A and B are shown apart, each in its own frame.
Chain A
Amino acid sequence: MQSEKEFTTWVEDYSDILFGYLLKHGLPKEIARDILQETFLAAWRNMDSFRAEASVKNWLFVILKNKITDHYRKLANKVSENSIDLDTVGEHFFDNSDHWNKGAYPQNFKGNFESPVETKEFYKLLRTCGNRLKEIQNAVFSMKYIEGLSSEEICKELNISSSNYWVLIHRAKLQLRACLQKNWMEIQDL
């Protein structure tokens, strides 16, 4: 009973910070919830081995990061199974002669996301557009541009090759900008 009480305190004290970490790594909410659950389950099962450790928070983060790595390894395997084709990176964006497709022309955003009033809306949209990317793309993108990790660190953590990294991040950038253009305009038109 004593350990149940202690475990409950761990969940109460640290689940929010662990959950926030997962989301900032670009993991979709449902998957973040699953990984969080697995992390605490592992912590509960191994509570006895924790005793000697110094900080509960650090220990939980070690478990969490292992779970994230496992998750990404599975995703990365799927990526290499479907091997990414370099030539298809901009397939919807460019025509046969490698110029912009008319439907994909970059246009001015109608909103000005530097203005404080619109900033909040812009960030909400940025999140939404990020979540529309494929999970592995969003992971690479968030790690690079939100977490500020280097490409080497990202390749290591996700277990992907540098050419796959490059394709994923490049494609994510094209899609994100196009999504912002489309939706930012819709917001402004309302």
Chain B
Amino acid sequence: MKVSLTCKKAVDLISKKEEGKITLWQRFQLWNHFVECSLCKLFNLQNKSIVDSLPRLKNEPEELLSANEKKEIVDFSIQAK
């Protein structure tokens, strides 16, 4: 079986890895690709940092509606009935 990967395939596997959908052999292929390709290696690290930081967006302060926007919701609903 061929060990080497194209960059496109390697990036595919990086995403599949996150979904828990790669085989041990594919893991090895990826590892092997990172040794020779600094671009994909960097992509992998950055992708991981981004994905890891995303859940923190959940704790961002809520965006609040203005009193006027709330009034519009009420007025529109009552008039539309």
Contact = CB atoms under 8 A, between A and B. Distances in A.
Interface of A: 4, 7-8, 11-12, 15-17, 19-20, 23-24, 33, 36-37, 40-41, 43-45, 89-90, 93-94, 97-100, 105-109, 113-114, 122-123, 126-127, 145-148, 151, 166, 169-170, 173-174, 176-177, 180-181
The 10 closest A-B CB pairs, nearest first, are A98-B6, A98-B8, A145-B54, A20-B62, A44-B77, A106-B43, A94-B8, A170-B15, A106-B42, A41-B77
Given A16-B62, A19-B63, A41-B80, A90 B57 contact: no
Nearest to A12: B70
A109 B42 CA distance: 10
A23 B74 CA distance: 21
B interface, size bucket: 35 or more
A37 B74 CA distance: 9
B64 to A, nearest CB: 5
Nearest to A10: B74
A188 B35 CA distance: 30
Contact of B39 (A4, A8, A100, A126): A100
Contacts of B54: 126, 145-146
Interface string B21-58: 00000000000000000011011001101110111111
Give the interface centre of A4, A23, A100, A174 by most chain B CB atoms within 10 Å: A100
Contacts of A127: 57
A123 B56 contact: yes
Interface of B: 6-9, 11-12, 15, 19, 39-40, 42-43, 46-47, 49-51, 53-58, 60, 62-65, 69-70, 73-74, 76-78, 80-81
Q: Does more than half of chain A's interface fall in helix, strand or loop, or is it mixed?
A: helix
Contact of B55 (A15, A148, A151): A148
Given A15-B73, A122-B53, A170-B15, A98 B42 contact: no
B62 A17 contact: yes
A4 B15 contact: no
A113 B49 contact: yes
Given A15-B73, A90-B11, 13 more contacts: A15-B65, A19-B62, A19-B63, A19-B65, A24-B58, A93-B8, A98-B9, A106-B43, A108-B42, A146-B57, A166-B19, A174-B11, A177-B50
